[in-house]
């Protein structure tokens, strides 16, 4: 489906839970999140139905996210069922990696080949600090396991946070020298009511790229970005095994190539990550709507997609339009 700004919408991110086994301070409020009631979370059959209908109107890629998707019981079996949806040709997963090692083989068998792992520090103490007690070793073991099994690409996502991990930028960059991973720096977005103050912690990817470029020769890995590429600008350190990506929603907006919708765990279809505008699918679904009605609602969400997100580019002057916490949206 093409939206009113001529963008092809072919990608759906599906949050299967708002629960998480970590408490990242940039993602969740200090007092914790109020969780969605069990009955309000979409059942797997309901998600399968929505995806089947979305695939019928042009969605060909689905990413499973959360909260932490691997904490929802039956996640691997659900993904295996999703794999047989006609029209879908790509199923991927975003995880914090804590439970990845035990689930990796089952995920691969279920059809996930592409995986994103969030990892904001390579230092065990700092990792525990930012995640509210997470075990870095578990994540490292998960990454090693997906590498051993043959997932590709393996993307390591780092949210760049001033005063927290700016001293680890070169460590992350050098990880891409040694390993065939895509190491991607993501700019911190002012979303929700997190424990960490976003506005004073924003670190532009321009600075990160310059820092890495002052130590190594960076080559473009995917040429000039086209409308069909994801939001990351990809580079490679000359001779490196992997790549380095920059996802820069603030310093280098990529809304002109936005191809996505987001389904929240309680069945709302969000039209933009950074706006709370959405279309409720759960109520109509539970009130017995037809497949054609559901397709119309999905088209309505596509029609509502804004030309660009509402966060201003200048540091510290963000206009917040998204009050939902990132853990309830899925990133
Ligand atoms: N729990 C899984 C994980 O951490 O990968 C999936 C859900 S998490 C909400 C998805 C992604 O959003 C993670 O990579 C996380 O680092 C990122 N994220 C959360 N809050 C963010 C923020 N304020 N700005 C930028 N990225 C954020
Ligand atoms: Fe959980 Fe992911 Fe949010 Fe961290 S970023 S609290 S792992 S949902």
Token pair 């068998």 is found at 109
**pLDDT beneath 70, residues of the chain:** 222-230, 310-322
Distance, CA 32 to ligand 2 centroid (Å)? 12
**Paired tokens of 81:** 């069922």
Regarding the beta carbon of 17 and ligand 1, being less than 6 Å apart is answered no
Which pLDDT does position 8 carry in this prediction?
95
Please choose from 17, 18, 19, 22 the residue to mutate so as to test ligand 2's pocket, defined by most ligand atoms within 8 A of CB.
Answer: 22
Please choose from 159, 192, 309 the residue to mutate so as to test ligand 1's pocket, defined by most ligand atoms within 8 A of CB.
Answer: 159
Ligand nearest to the CA of 94: 1
Q: Is 86 exposed, middle or buried (0-12, 13-18, 19+ CB in 10 A)?
A: exposed
The percent of the chain in helix, strand and coil, each rounded to the nearest 5, is: 35, 20, 50
Distance, CA 166 to ligand 1 centroid (Å)? 18
Note the pLDDT tens digit of each residue in 64-87: 999 999 999 999 999 999 999 999
Structural domains of the chain, with CATH: 11-329 (3.20.20.70)
Which pLDDT does position 227 carry in this prediction?
41
Distance, CA 326 to ligand 1 centroid (Å)? 6
Regarding the beta carbon of 92 and ligand 2, being less than 6 Å apart is answered no
Which pLDDT does position 314 carry in this prediction?
44
- How many C-beta neighbours within 10 Å does residue 163 have? 10
How far is 82 from 75, CA to CA, in rounded Å? 10
Atom of ligand 1 nearest to the CA of 116: 5
Regarding the beta carbon of 66 and ligand 2, being less than 6 Å apart is answered yes
Please say whether the beta carbons of 120 and 163 come within 8 A. Answer: no
């Amino acid at each position: 489906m093409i939206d009113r700004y001529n963008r092809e919408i072919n990608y759906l991110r599906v949050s299967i839970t708002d629960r998480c086994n970590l408490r990242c301070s940039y993602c969740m409020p200090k007092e914790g999140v109020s969780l969605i009631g069990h009955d309000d979370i979409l059942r797997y059959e309901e998600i399968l139905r929505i995806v089947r209908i979305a695939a019928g109107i042009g969605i060909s890629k689905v990413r499973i996210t959360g909260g932490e998707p691997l904490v929802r019981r039956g996640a691997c079996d659900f993904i295996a069922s999703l794999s047989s949806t006609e029209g879908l040709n790509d199923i991927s997963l975003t995880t914090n990696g804590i439970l990845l090692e035990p689930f990796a083989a089952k995920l691969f068998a279920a059809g996930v080949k592409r995986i994103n792992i969030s990892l904001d520090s390579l230092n065990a103490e700092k990792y525990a600090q930012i995640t509210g007690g997470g075990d870095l070793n578990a994540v490292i073991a998960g990454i090693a396991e997906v590498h051993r099994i043959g997932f590709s690409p393996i993307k390591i996502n780092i949210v760049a946070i001033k005063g927290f991990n700016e001293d680890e930028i070169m460590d992350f960059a050098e990880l891409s020298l040694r390993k065939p991973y895509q190491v991607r720096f993501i700019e911190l977005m002012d979303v929700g009511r997190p424990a960490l103050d976003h506005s004073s912690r924003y670190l532009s990817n321009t600075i990160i790229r310059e820092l890495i470029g002052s130590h190594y020769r960076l080559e473009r890995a995917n040429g000039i970005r086209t409308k069909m590429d994801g939001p990351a600008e990809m580079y490679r350190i000359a001779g490196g095994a992997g790549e380095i990506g920059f996802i820069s929603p603030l310093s280098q907006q990529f809304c002109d190539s936005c191809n996505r919708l987001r389904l929240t765990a309680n069945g709302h279809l969000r039209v933009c990550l950074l706006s709370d505008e959405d279309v409720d699918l759960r109520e109509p679904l539970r009130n017995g709507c037809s497949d054609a009605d559901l397709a119309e609602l999905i088209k309505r969400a596509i029609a509502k997609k804004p030309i660009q997100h509402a966060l201003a580019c200048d540091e510290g002057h963000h206009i917040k339009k998204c009050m939902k916490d990132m853990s309830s949206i899925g990133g």
